[in-house]
Chain A
Amino acid sequence: MTSAVDTQLRADLRGFRAVQRLAYECAESVAARLKPGVTEREAARMQRDWLRARGVRDWFHLPFAWFGDRTAFAGFRVPLQFFPTSRRLEPGMPFILDMAPVHQGFTADIGYSGCLGLNPVHDRLLSDLEAHRDLILREVRERRPLREIYQDVERLMRHQGHLNRHRAYPFGVIAHKVDRVAERRWSPTVFGFGTQSLKGLASDAVHGHRDGWSPLWSPYRFSDHPPQPGLWAVEPHLGFRGTGAKFEELLVVTDSRDPEQSAFWLDDDLPHVRRWTEERAAA
């Protein structure tokens, strides 16, 4: 019985890993094609087209693109401001591509930070994100309440001299649960979010509400519970004086007793992780 569950889980993880890789491939391919003068709308469309051409039919959310100080969500007050605008990319500008495709029923949600040309501030932000990836994994393995982990991440950001910009996301979430999604022929989106995925999230929210957990990892009381098994799309987002950087990837949480197995990053071969490894090798 256990082995059947394990096999199923492993197969599922393979599916999630494949779509996450696909999404990161898309991000790298689009990032390589970004040139001065490209608008956020065009960048978002490039992501959409690239993924559509590779069989993506449904979305957790449609691709976003943020350029310049919009990477730090400067002056964001209403959620509509997250949607791509006609802001044009300029040399030295940071950008973030954020997409959540659903492929063969598996969801990925990734964030890719880059910049056009040299930008030392952006480089520093990306390097500083490494500590957050480690911190989150460590504390999840310790089964600390999500709200406390959130506060620890925020404290680390403040210590680093940065601002917590994931607070700008709906409900201020640093992460949210993702799951398998039923494949339908018609998969509409509402305000950029796929209805199937929203349904999954809502049902999680209802179940979680009964059992005392929430699919949204926020600074609020409803996240005052230990990590819930499942897949979490974790997206710490740093901001520093008009420059923002984030990564987003899936964290697998299980109910295993073994700390190593209780939580792990779905994939360690991702652009930002490779970058840190290279940095360390260079140093």
Chain B
Amino acid sequence: MTLQDARERWVRTGGVELCVTEAGDPARPTVVLVHGYPDSKEVWSEVTDRLRDTFHVVLYDVRGHGRSTAPTPLRGGFTLEKLTDDFLAVIDTVSPDKPVHVVGHDWGSVQSWEFVTVKRTEGRIASFTSMSGPSLDHFGHWIKKRMSRPTPRRTAQLLGQGAKSWYVYMLHTPVLPELAWRGPLGTQWPKILGRLEKVTPGDYPTGSLREDAAHGAWLYRDNVRARLSHPRPDAYAHAPVQLITPTGDSFLSPRLYDELDQWVPQLLRRQLAAKHWVPRTRPDQLASWISDFVTRHEDLGPGGTSATVDSATRPTARPGPHAEHFGGRLVLVTGAASGIGRATAFAFAEAGARVIAVDRDADGVARTADLARLVGAPEAWAETTDVSDEQAMEKLAEKVAAEYGVVDVLVNNAGIGLSGSFFTTTSEDWKKVLDVNLWGVIHGCRIFGRQMAERGQGGHIVNTASAAAYQPSKALPAYSTSKAAVLMLSECLRAELASQDIGVTAICPGFVNTNITSTARFTGVDETEQKRRQRRASRLYGMRNYPPEKVADAILRSIVRNQAVVPVTPEARGARFMSRFTPRALRAVARTEPPL
């Protein structure tokens, strides 16, 4: 338990005693972490560890939870007004002069929404990071809007969230929840969390779980019905808000936040492919997003308009379509000096990711990193490495882990082209194409994938296969073989890594206008014929003119959707369809001579 070496103090307020823990230098910006239900402040231990070096981290057990005392009587003791009193008492003690940064998860977020939307805390909160807990007032308006004008979509949203809220109805029944928590549910809870939410058991949940959960039922009973039926009309946030939405949350639909912009003037949205208990399962990512957000608003002071400052420093940084998902994440792209790799690096940069561009071509990759910074990457680095060189890749991985961190997204994109009859393809040719196209991917997945798996906080691997992976052709025996191997490798790896929340995607682009055609080798022909074919192939691909930017978009989309195999161009989709339903027709196509 890492919170033990933190300072502890008690705050007495409104008839209860709150257990408050502080870590880090009090002179630094104060970050108050508020836990949810059925938790105690220990839910934040992992995040605290990562924040305490930079910030003054304050945690407290909400009344009736952990080591804080419970109000008597319980009924009426957990209203949001009283929780706000508690919060004010805590921050008056730990940071009497300066506004604090609030971070809330689950019910901690629900009550923090109250804190940032009521008048009496104005000027006391510098920023708020919310995860998995909507404002009950906003939620009330959300329901009202859908009830009063039920379009099919709105009805579906209402029913969807209604089904996810089953536990809220349960908690409103008298006595039974308390009995269940003090009985079998309390015993089984760590196991349930482990199985359904993949929360690794350890110092959490703590021994106080049964009492926390039993008391906490009053959070729901005291507030939910009252607020949902009569939501406050003026619940506008007076501090900037960072909303972190786990997309796999079993209790809250992401649709809940659709209309949040009307309540929050300064809203920053983030998305995380994770389940409900993100403080346990994704502490690294949370800590980094919280640090960024706090730092940004600490410099500005409360009420500082981040939008104008951002646009002054980076006026062209239009957030890309997936900025919520990739903002601040670490992405490594191989083969990033040109073509699809370069476009992918730019697409991630536009989405606000930190980009590591890797390629053999030092000039090209430096240029990629340079431009990536211009289009919005907070940081971008160029690394010159040959992906087929295992030792070089090992070295790169060490350097990346030491200097930049564990990669969140790995794109194994580097590849070379090789065309010609099977009998003119020498074993040297085979070796070369397999070294880059297959071994490059294997090294990437093995070395960086292992780092990802060992961290245990999810991630995603994208391997660039090809339409040639399922479209046989007499002209591309070696290339197609290497790409088919990549496709199958991706599928197998996807199966293996699924349990660790690491997604694996195989991208099958098809004919894309990149310079792979001008660097491809054509076997069995002399130098001039080789050049002629390269030019001809480039021209044909140029006429097809499918831009690599579209492939990059497909890559980002496939990560957000966690797709397994993604054919990109229409011909790649067509071939994929044919390979499944009319394979004989596809084999007939394979026999035709390409028009080179």
Looking at A48-56, A57-65, A210-218, A238-246, the stretch in contact with chain B turns out to be A238-246
The answer to whether A124 and B311 touch across the interface, beta carbons within 8 angstroms, is no
Bound Cα distance from A5 to B476, whole angstroms: 60
Given the known interface contacts A121-B374, A241-B346, A241-B375, the answer about A161 and B367 at a Cβ–Cβ threshold of 8 Å is yes
Interface pair A119/B316, CB less than 8 Å apart = yes
**Could you say which residues of chain B place their CB within 8 Å of the CB of A241?**
346, 350, 375, 549
Contact of A158 among B368, B375, B515 (CB under 8 A): B515
Which of A92, A159, A240 interacts with B315 by CB under 8 Å?
A: A92
* B316:A161 contact, CB within 8 angstroms: no
Contact of A91 with B374 at beta-carbon distance under 8 Å, contacts A158-B338, A243-B316 already known: no
Is A270's CB within 8 Å of the partner chain B? no
- B519 CB, nearest partner CB in chain A, Å: 12
Closest residue to B514 on the A side, CB-wise?
A158
Which single member of B316, B367, B547, B549 contacts A121 (CB below 8 Å)? B316
Q: Which residues of A contact B515 (CB under 8 A)?
A: 158
Q: Specify the main secondary structure of chain B where it touches its partner.
A: helix
On whether the beta carbons of B368 and A91 are closer than 8 Å, the reply is: no
Q: Within 8 Å of chain B (Cβ to Cβ): is A160?
A: yes
Residue of B nearest to A159 (CB): B364
- Judged by DSSP, the binding face of A is mixed
List B contacts of A121 (CB < 8 A): 316, 374-375
Measured CA separation A124–B338 after assembly (Å):
18
Q: Judging by beta carbons under 8 Å apart, are B316 and A240 in contact?
A: no
- Whether B371 lies near A240 (C-beta < 8 A) is yes
Q: Which chain B residues lie closer than 8 Å to A240 at the CB level?
A: 371, 375
| B318 contacts chain A at the CB level, 8 A cutoff | yes
A282 to chain B, nearest CB (A): 18
- CB-defined contacts of A161 to chain B, threshold 8 Å: 342, 346, 367-368, 371
> What CA separation (Å) do A160 and B338 show in the bound complex?
9
A16 nearest CB across to chain B (Å): 34
Q: Mark B306-334, 1 if CB is under 8 A from A, else 0.
A: 00000110111010000000000000000
- In the complex, how many angstroms separate the beta carbon of A238 from the nearest chain B beta carbon? 12
Q: Does A118 contact B (CB under 8 A)?
A: yes
A242-B338 in contact given A92-B311, A160-B367, A161-B371 (Cβ < 8 Å): no
Interface size on A (CB < 8 Å)? 18
Mark each residue of chain A from 157 to 189: 1 if its CB lies under 8 Å from any CB of chain B, else 0.
011110100000000000000000000000000
**Complex-state Cα separation, A160 to B312, whole angstroms:** 26
Q: Which of A106-149 contact B (CB under 8 A)?
A: 117-122, 124
Q: Which of A80-103 contact B (CB under 8 A)?
A: 91-92
B320 closest partner in A (C-beta) = A241
- By the criterion CB–CB under 8 Å, are A117 and B315 in contact? yes
Which residue of B315, B350, B375, B549 is within 8 Å of A118 (Cβ)? B315
Q: A242 contacts B367, CB within 8 Å? A: no
Q: For the complex, what is the distance from the CA of A163 to the CA of B367, rounded to whole Å?
A: 14
Residue of A nearest to B373 (CB): A120
Return the CB mask of B361-383 against A: 1 if under 8 Å, else 0: 00010011001001100000000
Report the interface size class on chain B: 10 to 19
* A120 in contact with B311 (CB, 8 Å): no
* Closest-CB distance, B513 to chain A (whole angstroms): 10
Give Cα A161–Cα B380 distance, bound, in whole angstroms: 15
* Chain A residues numbered 233-264 whose CB sits less than 8 Å from any CB in chain B: 240-243
Residues of A within 8 A of B368 (CB): 161
Nearest-CB residue, chain A, relative to B518: A155
Which residues of B lie under 8 Å from residue A120 when comparing CB positions? Answer: 314-316, 374
Complex-state Cα separation, A121 to B376, whole angstroms: 10
**What are the residues of chain A within 8 A of B350 when measuring CB–CB?**
241
Q: Which residue of B lies closest to A94 (CB)?
A: B316
Question: Which residues from A are CB-within-8-Å of B346?
Answer: 161, 241
* Residues in B whose Cβ lies below 8 Å from that of A243: 316
Within 8 A of A (CB), among B486-539: 515
Chain A residues near B371 (CB-CB < 8 A): 124, 161, 240
Q: What residues on A are CB-neighbors of B311 within 8 Å?
A: 91-92
Q: How far is the CB of B178 from chain A (nearest CB, A)?
A: 57
- Against A, the Cβ 8 Å flags (1 = close, 0 = not) of B285-313 are 00000000000000000000000000110
Q: Contacts of B549 on A, CB cut-off 8 Å?
A: 241
Residue contact B318 to A242, C-beta cutoff 8 Å = yes
Give the residues in chain A near B318, CB-CB below 8 Å: 242
Residue of A nearest to B542 (CB): A219
Contact with A along B328-368 (1 / 0, CB 8 A): 00000000001000100010001000000000000010011
Q: How far is the CA of A74 from the CA of B46 in the complex (A)?
A: 46
Q: Choose one: A92, A158, A160, A163; the contact of B316 (CB below 8 Å).
A: A92
Q: Measured between alpha carbons, how far is A166 from B435 in the docked complex, in Å?
A: 38
- Nearest chain A residue, comparing its CB with the CB of B318: A242
For B316, B367, B549, the residue with the greatest tally of chain A CB atoms inside 10 Å of its CB is B316
Residues 181-217 of A at the B interface (beta carbon under 8 Å): none
Chain A residues with Cβ under 8 A from B314's Cβ?
120
A161 to B374 Cα, complex, angstroms:
12
Q: Which residue of A lies closest to B515 (CB)?
A: A158
CB-nearest residue of chain A to B364: A159
Indicate the member of B364, B374, B547 with the most A CB atoms within 10 Å: B374
Separation of A122 and B367 alpha carbons in the complex (Å) = 15
B315 / chain A contacts, CB cutoff of 8 Å: 91-92, 117-120
Q: How far is the CA of A190 from the CA of B304 in the complex (A)?
A: 53
A194 to chain B, nearest CB (A): 32
Closest to A117 in B: B315
Known contacts A160-B367, A161-B368, A241-B346; decide if A124 and B374 are in contact (CB<8 Å).
yes
User: Whole-angstrom distance from the CB of A130 to the nearest CB of chain B?
Assistant: 15
Whole-angstrom distance from the CB of B365 to the nearest CB of chain A? 11
Complex Cα gap A139–B56 (Å)? 63
**Could you say which of A117, A118, A161, A242 has the most chain B C-beta atoms within 10 Å of its C-beta?**
A161
Q: Specify which chain B residues have a CB less than 8 angstroms from the CB of A163 in the assembled complex.
A: 547
Name the CB-closest residue of B to A120: B374
Cα A242 to Cα B368 with chains together (Å): 17
CB distance from A220 to the nearest CB of B (A): 11
Give A144 to B350 CA distance when docked, in angstroms.
39
CA distance A121 to B375 in the complex (A): 7
Given contacts A120-B314, A120-B374, A161-B368, 10 further A-B contacts (CB under 8 A): A91-B311, A119-B315, A120-B315, A121-B316, A158-B338, A158-B515, A159-B364, A160-B367, A240-B371, A241-B350
Please give the residue numbers on chain A whose beta carbons come within 8 Å of chain B beta carbons, in ascending order. 91-92, 117-122, 124, 158-161, 163, 240-243
Binding site for A on B (CB under 8 A): 311-312, 314-316, 318, 338, 342, 346, 350, 364, 367-368, 371, 374-375, 515, 547, 549
Top-9 shortest CB links A-B: A92-B315, A121-B316, A121-B374, A161-B371, A119-B316, A120-B374, A118-B315, A161-B367, A241-B375
Q: List 9 A-B contacts (CB under 8 A).
A: A119-B315, A122-B316, A124-B371, A158-B515, A161-B346, A240-B375, A241-B346, A242-B318, A243-B316
